[in-house]
Structure 1
């Protein structure tokens, strides 16, 4: 249970408070990933990554853009991600670049494919990010997106729905969780052709306490630093919100869109 955070304040956060967080979206996400990479790395699902690569149409020899690449994303972890890649013998074909989704530091039509896994949900305005991806992709090439999202059952006017949404946002360092219909419309408006979309995951309710309890035990055994206590409190919202939202049918952590930039006529 969260002990140091004002849970009521988070549950019933106002739109004004959420907008204030959105103005500093980059700092919110950076602070979150300064704390959580070891947890996220240890929970990596290799089998799903292989399946995802197949769905994304990734092939040897392609120049591929990974938007929000985990330990290579936030500034403090660029060196760490580079070191891990070198250790795996992949430092020649892989390069880490610090950037902003809304202002990608790459020339037009410079990539053969692009994908994002649980990353673009941190963008305060997804359509701007989608437009940038269209810009840097070559014509006729794929973009695959798997993200946290509020489903079509989410009702903004329902206070319980908003409460769960607020839990998930705080517990995952987000400023504005995307809504599936908005994502669909934004992808089309940005210029993508939608090939496939589906919810590929249903959250298992007992999961909500597993990760937190493992790391809380490590903390009490002295295997985690004292500063981790605040992380445990924040992460209470993550599994609690995700599991509750999934049980209500208003949230999914794995909504998939497979898109393509139209080929030039």
Structure 2
């Protein structure tokens, strides 16, 4: 799915972290999480450091295996993974009712795959907000390559403290990004502040479903694997997510877990029992090849020490996501559209 080759993967590992410091960064990142004795309170208190380390460590792996858009999607029979990802982004743009010339904010934009697709699809100007320097530098290159650097841009900032005036944007969206927030109400409140009155915010959220049992040890382990492998301080229930949107001041237009009636499971590309030529790097064979390739690159000194450890926790993440999806205790596609009331001008 991605044009990134082996050398790109190896040289990008670690992001902006000095290559000699990658191993110690992996150590520190892992210790934030339950599997290594970490506490939720510590992850929330240090979420900026934790999430930045996570994306410095994993972005090259993501782009190598997944392409420019780091998210899943509901999928129709006969539809490729790439086609489903694009449709998922178009669906969001349509739900927001985007119109040419509007000013849009992408909260937690990654390297800007959705940003570029939505800008082309809707003829809007999109600003990507991201707190990770490496992802922004990569996104700026891709924007220039796509000819979108005049209408789309990136801003490095924390989405808990956005550097924008009140009522700045015609629409705001987040794709599997605000799950990194230590406080959903605080994050959504910032989005509310920068959105113009009467306009909408839409998001795809990662959530535990009502089927999740916090006293079930298997469920706890699956949740912990997802948090470790995806840089999350905690995973909220869909009901908690919805309540946070309302507490921030939004009127909920509609909400639904899109995983419920997806014709093809969203987690299928990560399931090792599934094989696909179009997304070969995500299959069991593709991941085995990548694992051994990273091992060899680290051994000869091209990839930094610690690269295999990153590959390992991403493998655990994939296992956790598939297990959570199959047991229906986790969804990567809780979707909502919420409107800022007209009387919400500040």
Q: How far is the alpha carbon of 1:102 from its aligned partner?
A: 1.1
- Which residue of the partner structure matches residue 65 of structure 1? 105
* Distance of aligned partners of 1:89 and 1:251 in 2 relative to their CA distance in 1, 3 Å threshold: same
- Which residue of the partner structure matches residue 218 of structure 1? 290
Checking the alignment, whether the CA contact within 8 Å between 1:120 and 1:147 is kept in structure 2 is yes
Deviation digits for residues 141-200 of structure 1 (CA, Å, limit 9, x no counterpart): 010010111112222232222211101000111111122111111100100111111111
Separation of aligned partners in 2, 1:216 and 1:177? 29
Q: Quick one: which of 56, 59, 64 aligns to 1:37?
A: 59
Q: Quick one: which of 253, 256, 264 aligns to 2:335?
A: 256
Note if 1:207 corresponds to 2:247: no
- Which residue of the partner structure matches residue 49 of structure 1? 89
Per mean C-alpha deviation after superposition, the further-off stretch among 236-245 and 113-122 is 236-245
Checking the alignment, whether the CA contact within 8 Å between 1:12 and 1:162 is kept in structure 2 is no
Separation of aligned partners in 2, 1:48 and 1:69? 15
User: Paired residues, what number?
Assistant: 259
Unaligned runs of 5+ in 2: 1-25, 70-84, 113-129, 260-264, 273-280, 299-303
Q: How far is the alpha carbon of 1:56 from its aligned partner?
A: 2.6
* Distance of aligned partners of 1:136 and 1:100 in 2 relative to their CA distance in 1, 3 Å threshold: same
* Distance of aligned partners of 1:195 and 1:222 in 2 relative to their CA distance in 1, 3 Å threshold: closer
Separation of aligned partners in 1, 2:251 and 2:294? 51
How does the TM-score come out when normalised to structure 1?
0.88
Find the residue that maps to 1:238 and give its secondary structure.
Answer: helix
Find the residue that maps to 1:35 and give its secondary structure.
Answer: helix
Q: Quick one: which of 306, 312, 315 aligns to 1:236?
A: 315
Deviation digits for residues 25-58 of structure 1 (CA, Å, limit 9, x no counterpart): 1111112211322443352322322222212322
Find the residue that maps to 1:112 and give its secondary structure.
Answer: strand
Note if 1:20 corresponds to 2:20: no
Checking the alignment, whether the CA contact within 8 Å between 1:245 and 1:251 is kept in structure 2 is yes
Find the residue that maps to 2:311 and give its secondary structure.
Answer: helix
Note if 1:95 corresponds to 2:183: no
Separation of aligned partners in 2, 1:159 and 1:115? 34
How does the TM-score come out when normalised to structure 2?
0.68
Per mean C-alpha deviation after superposition, the further-off stretch among 64-73 and 131-140 is 64-73
Note if 1:192 corresponds to 2:250: yes
Checking the alignment, whether the CA contact within 8 Å between 1:64 and 1:113 is kept in structure 2 is yes
Checking the alignment, whether the CA contact within 8 Å between 2:33 and 2:39 is kept in structure 1 is no
Q: How far is the alpha carbon of 1:212 from its aligned partner?
A: 7.0
Quote the RMSD (CA, aligned, Å). 2.6
Note if 1:128 corresponds to 2:191: no
Separation of aligned partners in 1, 2:102 and 2:34? 44
Note if 1:138 corresponds to 2:217: no
Q: How far is the alpha carbon of 1:87 from its aligned partner?
A: 1.4
Checking the alignment, whether the CA contact within 8 Å between 1:124 and 1:175 is kept in structure 2 is yes
Per mean C-alpha deviation after superposition, the further-off stretch among 91-100 and 106-115 is 91-100
- Which residue of the partner structure matches residue 225 of structure 2? 167
Deviation digits for residues 207-252 of structure 1 (CA, Å, limit 9, x no counterpart): 2337274244034346984243112211122111111111222100
